[in-house]
Structure 1
Amino acid sequence: MNKTNAIRILEAHKIEFDFAEYEVDENDLSGESVAEKIGASYEEVFKTLVAKGDKTGYCVFCIPVNYELDLKKAAKVSGNKSVELIKVKDLFPLTGYVRGGCSPIGMKKQYPTFIDETSQLFDRIFISAGVRGIQIHLNPNDLKNLLNAEFADLI
């Protein structure tokens, strides 16, 4: 396996993790599909969403794959009056990642990051390793500390 930036960063910080690989179906990049392929519940697999706030600029939200981001809650927790998800075409220039392979770890720039509070119900959660086909499995508190993120009610 080729190490991704996210994996290299976790190793450099000596954060305990493992990973799950899966076959990518370009016609179904849904998080639910990923969860099924790696044998995990939807609630423990987190997708990474990038939004732009009207006051603070770009922010990152990690939520379970079977939920939608509540934009009002996201705005409030990030210090904005409103936030809107960025367009898919803007994802790579901003983060260095593509849809279906966006990790909150190792983006081109570290944006304020918020992780849904339900992550704390699990000893470990899955997040993208930064490429389609690999999910990182790690402790949500380790992720929070690494990213200087906040747990919040986002769904």
Structure 2
Amino acid sequence: MAGIKKTNVMRLLEQHGVDYEEHHYFGDDVANGVDVAQKMGNDPNQQFKTLVTEGKSKEHYVFVVPVNSELDLKKAAKAVGEKSIGMIKEKELLPLTGYRHGGCSPIGMKKDFKTTVHQSATAFDTIIFSAGKVGVSVEIAPHDLEKLIDVQFADVAKA
């Protein structure tokens, strides 16, 4: 698309030889990830959101779950070997990751965090998630994430 600048996520994907497709939406008439997926014409089961948490140990973890589901904090803690975890405060997101709320990507954060992607991602040839900017997403094969970040797949969403 003319006039759309590449994000750092797109540049990193290209540097690692990962094929991707861009998805865009414009406007502010969205309330959540499901609205974004529908606006882009995507399946909400295939479009994922990136959530950042802090464990009891004070370590940070990233979880990537479908936009139409919620992170199960107990399952998430178990997946990363923590006694408990909680969501970070929104004001902590930008300084910690370099991303703003609504544009957080599991790729290209300021620091590498252990990342867990909900296991449902493996049922799709490709998944869609933020490209690091609100309104811009990328679509890649789930296992291509392994080329860029420390990732595991586990059941971390509420049933």
Q: TM-score by structure 2 length?
A: 0.93
Q: Distance in 1 between matches of 2:96 and 2:150?
A: 19
Q: Distance in 2 between matches of 1:46 and 1:11?
A: 21
Q: Distance in 2 between matches of 1:95 and 1:61?
A: 13
* Match in the other structure for 2:119: 117
Identity of matched residues, %: 46
1:55 is the counterpart of 2:44: no
Q: Is the 8 A contact 2:131 2:137 kept in 1?
A: yes
Q: Secondary structure at the match of 2:45?
A: helix
Please give the residue correspondences for 1:1-155 in structure 2 after superposition, counting only pairs within 5 Å. Answer: 1-25=4-28, 28-55=30-57, 57-155=59-157
Q: Distance in 2 between matches of 1:28 and 1:88?
A: 18
Q: Is the 8 A contact 2:113 2:150 kept in 1?
A: no
**Aligned letter for 1:125?**
I
4+ long deviations beyond 6 Å: none
Q: Secondary structure at the match of 1:48?
A: strand
Q: Which is worse superposed, 51-60 or 101-110?
A: 51-60
Alpha-carbon distance, 1:2 to partner: 1.2
Q: Which is worse superposed, 33-42 or 43-52?
A: 33-42
Q: Is the 8 A contact 1:58 1:111 kept in 2?
A: yes
**Aligned letter for 2:10?**
I
**Aligned letter for 1:8?**
R
Name structure 2 gaps, 5 residues minimum: none
Name structure 1 gaps, 5 residues minimum: none
Alpha-carbon distance, 1:143 to partner: 1.4
- How many residues in Structure 1 have an aligned counterpart in Structure 2? 154
Alpha-carbon distance, 1:56 to partner: 5.7
**Once the two structures are superposed, what CA deviation does each residue of 1:110-129 show, in whole Å capped at 9, x if it has no partner?**
10000000001100010100
Q: Is the 8 A contact 1:117 1:151 kept in 2?
A: yes
CA RMSD of the aligned region, Å? Answer: 1.1
